[in-house]
Amino acid sequence: MKRLKFVFIPFALLMLYFSSCEKVEKIDKTKPVIDLTIIDAFPLNCDTLYFGEPFELKVLFSDN
């Protein structure tokens, strides 16, 4: 019975160690793109927006 404990405990710890390893993934370094050249895009550069007034955001977001 003692021998079983000495075999089982290290085996269980090894299984726990290997199951907690994460797969290394590449980091996405490409920034998302905000396209203001679409038709009826709003707000454009230098447009004035006022607090408390609702507005409709019209832009195209894209990401790889």
Query: What's the distance, Cα to Cα, between the start and end of the chain in Å?
Result: 57
Enclosing H/E stretch for 33: strand 33-35
Contact of 32 with 3, CB cutoff 8 Å: no
Enclosing H/E stretch for 15: helix 2-19
Parse the chain into domains and list their residue ranges. Answer: 25-64
Query: Can you give the pLDDT of all 64 residues of the chain as single tens digits?
Result: 666 667 788 888 888 777 766 777 788 889 999 988 888 888 888 889 999 999 988 999 999 8
3-state DSSP percent of the chain in helix, strand and coil, to 5: 30, 10, 60
